[in-house]
Amino acid sequence: MSQIDKGSCFSPLLCEHVEIFESTSKDKVKFIDMQSSNSEIRSDKCYIEINSNTSKPDVPKSFGGLHASEITAIGSILAVLGSIILTAHTIRKYSRDYKMQQKSHEKELADSRIRFAKEKIENFFGPCKALLEESATIYEFFALKEKKEQRKNGGYFRTLRFLTENTHDGLKGSSKLSEYDQKLLGQIVEISEKVRVLIEEKSGYVDNPSLHSLLGKLSAHYRTLALAHQGGLDGLGKELEDIVFPLEINGAIESEINRLLDIISGAKQSEFSLNNTVSFYDRNHLDYYYKTHELDMKEVYDKVRKYVKNGSHILDAGCGTGRDTRYFIQHGFKVVSFDASKRMVELCNEYPFSYCINETFGSIKFPPKFDLVWACASLLHLSKEQMISAGHKLHRSLKPRGYLYFSLKKQEPSNFDGRTFYTYSRSEISEIFENKLSLKHVESWETNSQKGNSEIFVNYIFQKL
């Protein structure tokens, strides 16, 4: 036995002093109990002999060439990857479900808007338009003699004024009219009462505050007309001068219906690229508005209005800031407007009774529904090829016997501000609009620019055959 290490310990169970030796022999470990009475060792020491060559059981050191610690690490990594994949799948699933729910919610909102738009047309705007059209049709044939006399004297006929003014023969109300006109007026008053009741019962379908105000004026006019018809307001003509039929009502109702139809049909904005001219108007829309919105266009308005009846449908093609749209609606016409400049369209739609959309001459697709196409100083930005294409589209939008008005610069502008202008001779215009489009030339004339410069515009009126 050879001693290789030596230490001491104190243990109440074994001995007070223990010495540990390593044995080189193959003997098994021996334990000598100090407490044993049979022990030959009388010493206070005890010995433990350990065979250093005792073989230990074989334990596999690897699996597939990997140590246990490596297998454990790989397992942890795989567990983490599995968790990540499961989490990503869950997130993807919930994201997909959320998008589906969002689309479903958006569809429900869209369907709700469509249903409500249909309700508005069916319960208020449609009946109101029909009744106004019926009344206007009858009014065309009412008091023809009186209307003619007023026009001869440079004035215009007003029914309420006629019914309430004093006469030498002492007649009151509708008794001043011929028997034929009395019957027509009776029909007009009856229709007016239906409109008034409709306004009182169904005006909750109206969202436009300005239109609410306009409908109030219409109701006041109808109530007063009914009283005047009965002769109850005789002699109050001057006092009632401010109670007039609001001419804007026709265009206002039409514009609301057009907006509702866009909701029902799901109309989307056309896509088109912007050129330098459109970009110029987008940048300078406010400056252009202040320069043009108060220009005196009476001469042109009067010439063109000779060819279309009051209440007609007008397409304001290239409407700009909406100056002409406002004029026509205020004078009883129904107007649809479009312009390529988004900022111009926004300005036009600030007038509460307008309906203006962001389109170009190349993107419009109107059916033949208009009595007049009005293109004031807008076609002058088109090349010949574009002019022909636009002419076809505008021709299609006109009713048979409808009219096309447009104006062009006689000469190219002397100053260049980024816009593109094209000039056309009368022979070139004739070739495009008479020969290619088969329109009939009605009238053409020159006007000076209202902006205070020396520019001259050439105005044209053509008719669809």
Q: What is the pLDDT of residues 277-333, one digit of tens each?
A: 999 999 999 999 999 999 999 999 999 999 999 999 999 999 999 999 999 999 999
List alpha helices for 121-143, DSSP H.
126-140
Q: What is the pLDDT of residues 394-410, one digit of tens each?
A: 999 999 999 999 999 99
Both 224 and 273 in one domain: the answer is no
pTM above 0.85, yes or no: no
Return mean pLDDT, the chain. Answer: 87
Whole-angstrom Cα distance, residue 235 to residue 412? 59
Both 418 and 450 in one domain: the answer is yes
- In this structure, what DSSP letter does residue 31 have? B
Whole-angstrom Cα distance, residue 63 to residue 66? 5
For position 40, what pLDDT does the model report? 46
Judge whether residue 95 has pLDDT over 50: yes
Judge whether residue 266 has pLDDT over 60: yes
In this structure, are strands 456-464 and 439-448 parallel, antiparallel, or unpaired?
antiparallel
Burial letters 308-334, b for 16+ CB under 10 A, else e: beebbbbbbbbbbbbbbbbbbbeebbb
User: Please, which pLDDT band fits residue 336 given cuts at 50, 70 and 90?
Assistant: very high
Closest by Cα among 335, 332, 157 to 247: 332
Both 330 and 193 in one domain: the answer is no
Asked, for residue 251, whether it belongs to a domain, the answer is no
User: Please, which pLDDT band fits residue 64 given cuts at 50, 70 and 90?
Assistant: low
Q: Which domain holds residue 124?
A: 120-246
Judge whether residue 86 has pLDDT over 60: yes
Both 285 and 216 in one domain: the answer is no
User: Please, which pLDDT band fits residue 62 given cuts at 50, 70 and 90?
Assistant: low
Both 47 and 169 in one domain: the answer is no
Average pLDDT over residues 96-115: 87
Both 127 and 160 in one domain: the answer is yes
Q: What is each CA distance from 417 to 87, 277, 281, 294, in whole angstroms? A: 60, 9, 11, 22
Closest by Cα among 333, 288, 298, 388 to 136: 333
| 300 vs 55, residue with greater confidence | 300
Both 449 and 380 in one domain: the answer is yes
Asked, for residue 389, whether it belongs to a domain, the answer is yes
| 379 vs 101, residue with greater confidence | 379
Whole-angstrom Cα distance, residue 407 to residue 447? 9
| Pick from 48-52, 60-64, 409-413, 451-455: least confident | 48-52
Asked, for residue 332, whether it belongs to a domain, the answer is yes
For position 299, what pLDDT does the model report? 95
Closest by Cα among 78, 74, 68, 193 to 135: 193
User: Please, which pLDDT band fits residue 111 given cuts at 50, 70 and 90?
Assistant: very high
How many domains are contained in the chain? Answer: 3
Asked, for residue 70, whether it belongs to a domain, the answer is no
* Encoded tokens for 395: 């021709």
Whole-angstrom Cα distance, residue 363 to residue 339? 11
For position 414, what pLDDT does the model report? 58
Both 217 and 354 in one domain: the answer is no
| 65 vs 35, residue with greater confidence | 65
